Chains A and B, each alone.
Chain A
Amino acid sequence: MEEDNQTIRYVLNGDFNAFEKLVEKYQGRIYRHLRKMVKDTSEAQDLLQETFLSAYRGLKGFAGDSSFSTWLFRIASNTALMFLRKNRPEFLQYDEQIGIKNDDKLVPASPEFVSTPLEILLSNEGRKKIEEAIDHLPLIYRTVIILRDVEGFSLEEVAEIIDSSVPAVKSRLHRGRNSVRESLGTYYMERTVNGKRRALQE
């Protein structure tokens, strides 16, 4: 955090290379965040450019009360939200319950998922399934999962980034995580059953 603040001081003194250092440090994470928010890699590229340009323009106003990463992710989230409001308003229907059961019942856990080794869960195929499970979530759940579980921000930081409260973040995490757990559970259960079926046929 202190290292970023030092770099920011250089940028504010007119050192553009210092700004490029900040960009290089955060571009991958910001791109991932935008990519998951808008679910479109080509749009995410444009929003990535917009985010860093806004950050450059607003850097003088960065007070250092929060970390630079929190501040930057807040800009990225707002940039994506503005884009979605204009181009994908259906993403912003917060009550939309795609993939989230209305009755809030928890689907039991899948033993097949839990017993699948980590190297399979994190294989190319496994990673694709994680991406799909997250993409399937409505925006408000998707965003908190990315910020908390993927980026590792604290609950307070997530609340600050998305302009919400800690209790609201917790409740969205609970529902979002359980929805991802269900999707992956179903996938690994079916994968195991199909594997056994194939073994029997051979």
Chain B
Amino acid sequence: MMKECKDFCDRLSDYLDGQVDENICILIEEHLEVCPPCALMYESLKTTVEICNRGISDDLPEEVGRRLKIFLRIHCNKEQT
């Protein structure tokens, strides 16, 4: 990877978070248009963030929820008395 490309790729995570200045944004976007490996890197990082966001379930097993409810009813009531 060329140094210039490495510098751009090092900013991609911040770029995805909207954390780079507007003038740097323009430079990154111009570079992504002319550099296929960096464009692929950007797509790949964007996909990573997207599937992390959608791919980890927040389902709570029913039994875990039931035990939590009982635990809290017992212990929180002790706090009140």
Chain A contacts to B: CB under 8 angstroms: 14, 16, 19-20, 23, 27-29, 31-32, 36, 45, 48-49, 52-53, 56-57, 105-106, 108-111, 113-114, 118, 121-122, 126-127, 130-131, 134, 145-146, 148-150, 152, 155, 170, 173-174, 177-178, 180-181, 184-185
- Verify B10–A174 contact, CB threshold 8 A: yes
- Given A19-B76, A122-B54, are A52 and B68 neighbors across the interface (CB < 8 Å)? yes
Interface residues of chain B: helix, strand, loop or mixed (majority)? helix
Closest approach, in angstroms, between the C-beta of A26 and any C-beta of chain B?
10
- Verify A149–B64 contact, CB threshold 8 A: no
> Which one of B17, B52, B71 contacts A49 once the chains associate, using CB atoms below 8 Å?
B71
Q: Using C-beta atoms within 8 Å of the partner chain, give the interface range for chain B.
A: 35 or more
- Given A177-B49, A178-B45, are A27 and B40 neighbors across the interface (CB < 8 Å)? no
| Shortest beta-carbon contacts, A-B, top 8 | A109-B44, A28-B58, A174-B13, A130-B55, A149-B52, A181-B48, A109-B40, A109-B41
Which A-chain residue is minimally distant from B56 (CB atoms)?
A150
- Expressed in whole angstroms, the Cα–Cα distance for A113 and B46 within the complex equals 11
Chain B residues with Cβ below 8 Å from A152 are 53
